[in-house]
Structure 1
Amino acid sequence: MKRLIIIPAFNEESNIEKTVTAIQQTAQDFDYVIINDCSGDRTREICERNGYNIVNLPINLGIGGAVQTGYKYAYQHNYDVAVQVDGDGQHDPEFLNLMATHLMDNHLDMVIGSRFIEKKGFQSSKARRIGIIFFSWLIKLLTGKRITDPTSGLRMVGRNVMALFAIDYPRDYPEPESVVAVLRRNMKVEEIPVIMHEREGGVSSISLKKSVYYMVKVTLAIIIERIRKY
């Protein structure tokens, strides 16, 4: 079974080496590809100096475009499983084999790594946890499925979801909206408990100023995704 780790990276010069090293040490059964989203720092230089497998985007596409590029890569290179691991070091690759086993043994389409099942490790800020609880409630209302960590970027998918995301993937803050896209097609999604780490360097894409925009935009996007035709 061919397995690919998609690493979206934008200005992750302080984290990318540690992220790849952790993957090489704990997830040897996986290939990886770094999607460098036109970083303005030394991310590209560090990756090329170390001989990492990297795709350099000529313009900044944002997190959605970078991740979708990874799904296109995975689908076109005939991978059976693809998983997003952010380049900021928050996602622990130690859980990837467990996620893959759960995905295959239970014939699932998506497995989400949730930090809120066992409530261990970094639990995000209080303000973001409020938003996460809201999105969890909204997704349950619209789909009937409770997702405890709808903003988690640590998601593993099979070929069906890979094909869907390679064609159609949200641009901004894509995690909650893309989960709804999968659920409304009656695909099987489950969560497993994982431990996440606090970002050690770099800057999050969601600042305090963007929080209100984030809540409104994602709420509307989730509702539209739920009601639109395939």
Structure 2
Amino acid sequence: MSTALLPAVEITTAAHPTHAVIWLHGLGADGHDFEPVVDELDPSVLPPTRFVFPHAPVRPVTINGGYRMRAWYDLVTSDFSRRREDPAGVHESAQQLTALIAHENERGIADERIVLAGFSQGGAVALHTALRHPRRLAGVLALSTYLPLPDTLAAEAAPANKDLPIFMAHGHGDTVIPYDFAERSARLLQDAGYPLAWHPYFTEHSLCLEEIRDVEAWLAQVLGG
């Protein structure tokens, strides 16, 4: 893995941010994809916050015929009854996300004031990383996604984040990641004792306005706005 920090788009809600949200995009997108969400949030309910939107590396993706695109890991099959994600890619992206957390630490923002967030593939990496991170985080925002490598979680889960607040949302009409598949991930985490809040919406593989309002309220809660 490259030791270079991933390039990222950064937006701050106020001068001298005291908190951070590191938000990972989905397959084939880039860090600009969720920039507009910040404009939809009410900065008055949040502490001064830096939103960091990193760009995933470009890599070949098997289910897309090996076409090279921005991806957090390779998807080796479209069959949801089998393991779809490449473990090496998940681990590499988790290390890159951990490096971004360390970069925020260097800028004066402690782990407990950092939320990991992501959509689709990005949400999978955010979940994977947050549950294994050795120091307490503020929370994890997992949108239109699922838990990757679930069979390794019990052995790798970090005690510091066993009570980590998790906001997990999914659209009933999602044809990219089926609703039932994502819901199974949510139930697995709830059965493991994580305080996960499950938010279903009547939308497809995207965010809706109701969801953005709920995200805003949750961020205000976990960041102490």
TM score, norm. by length of structure 2? 0.38
TM score, norm. by length of structure 1? 0.37
Q: Which one has the bigger helix percentage?
A: 1
Q: Which one has the bigger strand percentage?
A: 2
